[in-house]
Structures are given as C-alpha cells and as structure tokens.
Amino acid sequence: MKKMTFTALVLVSALAMSACGSSEPAKGTAGSGGTTEVTVGTLPILPTAAIMLGMDKGFFVKEGLDVKLETGQGGAALVPAVMSGQMQFATGNPISLLQARDKGLDVRVVSSYTYDTDKGVHAVLTRPDSGIKTAKDLVGKKVAVNTLKSMGDLLIMDAVKKDGGDPKAVSFVELPYPNMEAALKSGQVDAVWTPEPFMTIIRKADNPVVTYPGVASVKGHPTMVYFASGTLVKSKPELVSAMAKAIDVTMDYAQAHPDEVRAKAASALKIDPALSKAVVLEDMGGPVRKDELTAMGGLMKEYGVITEDADVVGLLQSVPKP
C-alpha cells in the first residue's frame, strides 16, 4: 500500500516537472520563430498524458503553438487563471464551466476532451470494513471530492437518489486526489470520489468500489473539455482555432492509440507501467455531447448548484473562424 501511495504522490510532482515544456520543443518562441507560446492548465490525472503525447507528436507545433503545461487541483481553480489571461487555455469539467457562466464569466468550450465509459472512469471507494455497499449507504457519511459543488458531489447525489437515498444527507469534504487514500485509511472520511489513476491505486489497496456515479447518473457524459475565455476567442480567433485543431488531432490520435497514452503516462508521469496498463481510460475526442451536457445542467439546477437554467448554449458557442 505504501508503494501505491508513493506512486500517487509522485504523479503530481512529475506533472509539475513535465509542465516545464513539451518533450519536443517548438522551433522558436512567440514573435521570433513562427510559434506562439500558450500556457495550458491541466489536472494531475492520467488523461493529461494524452496532451503530452500530442506535444511529442508535434501536433501543436504544426499549428504554430509552443505549449507549456501547468497543473491545478480542479477545473474551478483554473477558471480564474484563464479569465485573467494567466493561462490561455485549460482543461475543466463542464460542471465547473457552467457554474462560471452562471456567475457571469464568459468561458467557452474550445474542444472536447474526455467522456465517461460504461466501465466507469471515476468511482466512489470506501474501506472494506465501512459497511457501505451501495450509493444509498452514503447517506449520513463523509465523502471526499476534489472540488465542492462540482462534478463529484453532483453525480454522487444523483446516484444516491436513484438508489433510494436522500442526496442532501451526504456530507462532502474537499481534498486533493493524492491525499484521498491516506484520508480514507485514517478514517478522516468514509469514502472518496476519484478518477484514474487514483481510482485503480485505491482499489488495488483492497478498498472496494461503492458506485460509479457517472454511469449511475448521466451515462456517457463529458468528463473534461478544453476551454478559453470569451475575450481570447473574440480577440485571437486564429490562435483559438489553431489550438482547437491541435487538440482535436491529439485526442483522435489518443483514442486510436491507447497503448501509447498508457506508455506516456508511465514515462512522463512516472506511473508504474503495470498500473498504467491496469487503469480504465476515458473515451477521447469527438464532438461535445450536448444532450448529456444538458442533462448534467439540469442536475445542477435540481440540486441547487445553480439557480437559473444552465447556459449550455453559451458555453458551446462556436469558435469564430479566422
């Protein structure tokens, strides 16, 4: 178990080191060599290996982009950085972005990223002796999520309701993914919600899965998208279009070559190769699934995350063509 936990902690530090630049540097810098430097906010999770793979393949350089990666704890934390111009693009879950639009922030989806699968790519896990067997058993329990009032607690509440429990009786605590296994072991929380690779790390430490809330709630929903500010979309449409094209090519390549994504995760993120082969990969690429996104927006209003109808149309405004 100690080895598994260490691997999880190493993942975050490895991401930070990898964020210093692509393994295939762009030829030149903004304004001097035909490429434009852009900072992209990412999360310390396995699908980040996909964008690293695209950087290796030169998909971004081909579009004139010199990509620098920076990591954050959750999509909600990356929104201010994008809105302020500290980052030009970032990955985030659509719940956080719909919340941002509800608060009047003009965030726009640039490209799709990942989707949940029938196997479930994020799970609620518990200790083997907790007595928690199904989603409704989470009533009255303390559950860790990476960001409050976001995808984790929203989908868990809906899963609890569908299992016959009171969704409002679940207590949520905000914790970074790498801290969740220790919090679960110590009894600080009764259960944790996490994506890969932490889902497999925690499960392999003999902690059973309670539910896959993404499958129990809105099947096939978008888990992550790439986004930018409306200001950037309007002021630099050529840059945004180039980024969207590079992301689309990268995600399509990643979907068609999952073994390369796993290998990249093992090397760049310093994940045990056996672990990288065991994790469940999300579906990548393709158009944003508007119906599923709309359903998630409905859940946001139902559970009081927002008070008005979710602005799905505004979030999915087309990127202007140069």
CATH number of the domain to which 13 belongs? 3.40.190.10
Of 185, 216, 247, the one marking the end of a domain is: 216
Using a 10 angstrom Cβ sphere, with 0-12 exposed, 13-18 middle and 19 or more buried, the burial of residue 131 is exposed
pLDDT by residue (tens digit) across 45-90? Answer: 778 999 999 999 999 999 999 999 998 655 567 899 999 999 999 9
**Which of 17-21, 90-94, 187-191, 232-236 is least confident?**
17-21
Instruction: Evaluate if residue 38 carries a pLDDT over 80.
Output: yes
Q: What is the pLDDT of residues 136-179, one digit of tens each?
A: 999 999 999 988 888 999 999 999 999 999 999 999 999 998 99
Looking at residue 17, what is its pLDDT?
32
Residues 48, 179 share a domain: no
Cα–Cα distance list, 162 to 138, 211, 266, 274 (Å): 12, 12, 37, 35
Are 25 and 138 part of one and the same domain?
no
Instruction: Report yes or no: 138 and 185 within 8 Å, Cβ to Cβ.
Output: no
Q: Assess if residue 321 is contained within a domain.
A: no
Domains in the chain, number: 2
pLDDT band at 23 (very low <50, low <70, confident <90, very high): very low
226 with 254, same domain: the answer is yes
Q: Of the candidates 175, 192, 216, which is a domain's last residue?
A: 216
Residue pLDDT, tens place only, 286-299? 889 999 999 999 99
232 and 112 within one domain: yes
Range of the domain at 50: 2-117+220-315
Per-residue pLDDT, 47: 86
Q: Using one digit for the tens of pLDDT, what is the confidence trace for 230-241? A: 999 999 999 999
| Alpha-carbon Rg for the chain in angstroms | 19
How far is the C-alpha of 97 from the C-alpha of 148, rounded, in Å? 14
What is the maximal distance between C-alpha atoms in the chain? Answer: 62
User: Which of these three, 216, 236, 262, is where a domain ends?
Assistant: 216
Asked whether residue 282 carries a pLDDT value surpassing 60, the answer given is: yes
Reported pTM = 0.80
Residue range 6-23: average pLDDT?
Answer: 35
